[in-house]
Amino acid sequence: MKDSFIVTGGARLSGAVRVHGAKNSVLKLMSAALLAEGTTTLHNCPQIADVAYMADVLRGLGCEVQVDGATIHITTPAEIEYNADFDAVRQFRASVAILGPLTARCHRARLALPGGDAIGSRPLDMHQTGLEKLGAHTRIEHGCVVAEADHLRGAHIKLDFPSVGATENILTAAVLAEGTTTLDNAAREPEIVDLCNFLNEMGAKISGAGSNVITVEGVDSLRACEHDVVGDRIVAGTWAYAAAITQGDITVAGIDPQHLHLVLEKLKLAGAQVETYPSGFRVVQNAQPTAVDYQTLPFPGFPTDLQPMAIALCVASEGMSVITENIFESRFRFVDELMRLGADASIDGHHVVIRGGRPLSSAPVWSSDIRAGAGLVLAALVAEGDTEVHDVYHIDRGYPGFDEQLRALGAGIKRVKR
């Protein structure tokens, strides 16, 4: 059965929320646990569907995985499987993160080409090229990516684009490679820093995390460890935009506001009052927002995962906005659903022009991915009447208790089964 949300527009959200660990980090940390025999413990984990999916993938490789609320225990045996379960891997994109650890630990890996959100083409070319520079042989066969390596050796690797996934797989392979690996044009996201910190706690020797050049000194083996997952900046940013869209007042805890510096600066331009604290922030919007332009870029630029929320805010704002998507070519599918609600939008390639301030009215809409679903809910909060948001299983993959937290902030929202 596919759940839907019925969202009643008109509420001004106010209150406080706490975000848990980042979806875009915890899944990669779970994968990296494959690198060391023993029990790895992760704290501050989000209770989302993708964590359960990754747990199933690891169990299929021979690990024992216990999920106890916000804590996950992963016990990795001395010998692990290298051939990942086809059906388990295909369910979500982040499953590709096991490619690097399996290649490093088993010297071979086989996993289905991953599924996940319908936001555009995300090939594995840079993942494969990076592993090949380290000495692996890779190929695509029968719907799977295969990597084999007699011996991994450090190398200088320059990425054509600062891909988060490729950076992660190269790092998790290089930590057990002989010699030094230099990764140039590496991704700089906070989740990359969290992964590097985790690997160093396991005994790796990584420097430069957070910059565009990361250096890895290979080691012979790693050890299991205990780690707190970094706060989820995308979930935190979603709450920030919910405050602005509903002309509300929301305090968000559990996040380093520096991870959202540009996001919060954009809200200030839209007219919001923003206060930051060592581990959180507050957003207050007392009048209709002002239109602001956006373009998505790799960190520290504006995150593509918050683009749907930015568009929803532009629809509720006075004036015209231009949003440019530079990361995923299919992310504007979300705009077609907004237009069902009455948004005045036109798409031109990787740009969308929004003429904001028009009243929105309820209509049935469909989530195409995690962030699009959340963005539709935010837009529905300011639409007249009751909007039914379908396929919210996407939202459940990235937002723990999204509808419950919205109700606690004053939103009219209920979950129904169809």
Catalytic positions, written as ranges: 117
Are residues 305 and 372 in contact, defined by beta-carbon separation less than 8 angstroms?
Answer: no
Residue 409 φ/ψ, nearest 5 degrees: -90, 0
18-33 in b/e form (b: 16+ CB < 10 A) is: ebbbbbbbbbbbbbbb
Strand order in the sheet with 3-8: 365-366, 386-390, 3-8, 412-417
31 phi-psi bin (left φ>0, alpha ψ -120 to 50, beta other): alpha
- What residues does 65 pair with on adjacent strands? 74
- Amino acid at residue number 349: G
Q: Is 93 annotated as a binding residue?
A: yes
Helix (H) or strand (E) holding 109: strand 108-112
d(CA 103, CA 119): 28
Q: Is 197 annotated as a binding residue?
A: no
Q: Is 28 annotated as a binding residue?
A: no
Q: Is 418 annotated as a binding residue?
A: no
- Amino acid at residue number 57: V
The dihedral formed by the CA atoms of 86, 89, 95 and 98, expressed in degrees to the nearest 10: -30
d(CA 168, CA 97): 7
Size (the chain), residues: 418
Sequence-distant (6+) residues with CB within 8 A of 404 are: none
Contacts 24+ apart (CB under 8 A), 100-103: 100/31, 100/127, 100/131, 100/168, 100/169, 100/170, 100/171, 100/172, 100/173, 101/31, 101/32, 101/34, 101/35, 101/172, 101/173, 102/34, 102/61, 102/147, 103/131, 103/136, 103/147, 103/149, 103/152, 103/173
- Amino acid at residue number 6: I
Give the CA distances from residue 337 to residues 42, 344, 372, in Å, rounded to whole numbers and listed in that order: 37, 12, 9
Are residues 117 and 394 in contact, defined by beta-carbon separation less than 8 angstroms?
Answer: yes
d(CA 240, CA 255): 12
Q: Is 347 annotated as a binding residue?
A: no
Q: Which residues are annotated as a binding site for UDP-N-acetyl-alpha-D-glucosamine?
A: 93, 305, 327
Q: Which residues are annotated as a binding site for phosphoenolpyruvate?
A: 23-24
Q: Which residues are annotated as a binding site?
A: 23-24, 93, 305, 327
